[in-house]
Amino acid sequence: MARDEHLLRDIEIRVTHRDFRPVYHIAETTRTRPDPETGRPARLLDLGTVSGRTNLAQAVIVRLLTPRGELAALGHPEFGSRLHEIIGNRNSETVRHLARLYILESLQREPRIEEVTALRISAHPDIRDRIDVELAVRPVQSRDTVSIGPFTLRLTP
């Protein structure tokens, strides 16, 4: 972990569905400590956290699935991606190229990423309105890559 401190720490978000209608759950951790009054172990429920490379992978998914401008009121007008703009289009080579462009464009704004080393976008083999995405990035101050995905983008609204 010490060498990945620059990749930060955040609340762990578990994504139930990795499409344009994701369901996020905040991860929880349970720990015990002695109850100050009784001395018996007391169970404490806390927010789960994620750090380092795992945090970077989570941040990339959240960035890509957040429409750009969604966080403008919070002072982050450029956060997110334009992937939502391809919803409603047919799964064509042009749309997949747009998805590639929007992903690369979004990840250029992530300060923890030095380089996108791989990006594979393909038509889902069984479901016509889905695009499969797999990518790998090289974090700043690192020679190793972080693999992200596969995850699916659904084109139907």
Residue 86's CATH number: 3.10.450.40
- Peptide bond just before 150 cis, omega within 30 deg: yes
Gap between the Cα atoms of 151 and 130, Å rounded: 10
Give the per-residue pLDDT at 78.
93
Gap between the Cα atoms of 104 and 115, Å rounded: 10
* Percent with pLDDT over 90 in the chain: 54
**C-alpha 136: how far from its chain's center?**
12
Residue 94 belongs to what H/E stretch? helix 93-107
Per the structure, the complete domain to which residue 143 belongs is given by 2-154
Across residues 68-97, what is the average pLDDT?
94
Gap between the Cα atoms of 90 and 32, Å rounded: 52
Judge whether residue 114 has pLDDT over 80: yes
Q: How many domains does the chain have?
A: 1
Q: Is 69 exposed, middle or buried (0-12, 13-18, 19+ CB in 10 A)?
A: middle
In terms of phi and psi (left: phi > 0; alpha: psi -120 to 50; beta: otherwise), the region of 131 is beta
Residue 1 pLDDT level (bands cut at 50, 70, 90): very low
Gap between the Cα atoms of 98 and 78, Å rounded: 18
Judge whether residue 2 has pLDDT over 70: no
Burial 9-21 (b: 16+ CB within 10 A, else e): ebebbeeeebbbe
Give the per-residue pLDDT at 17.
58
Gap between the Cα atoms of 155 and 140, Å rounded: 32
Gap between the Cα atoms of 103 and 135, Å rounded: 10
Judge whether residue 13 has pLDDT over 80: no
Judge whether residue 130 has pLDDT over 80: yes
22-61 pLDDT, tens per residue?
A: 566 777 788 888 888 888 988 888 888 888 898 899 899 9
Output the average pLDDT for the chain. 87
For the full predicted model, state whether its pTM sits above 0.85: no
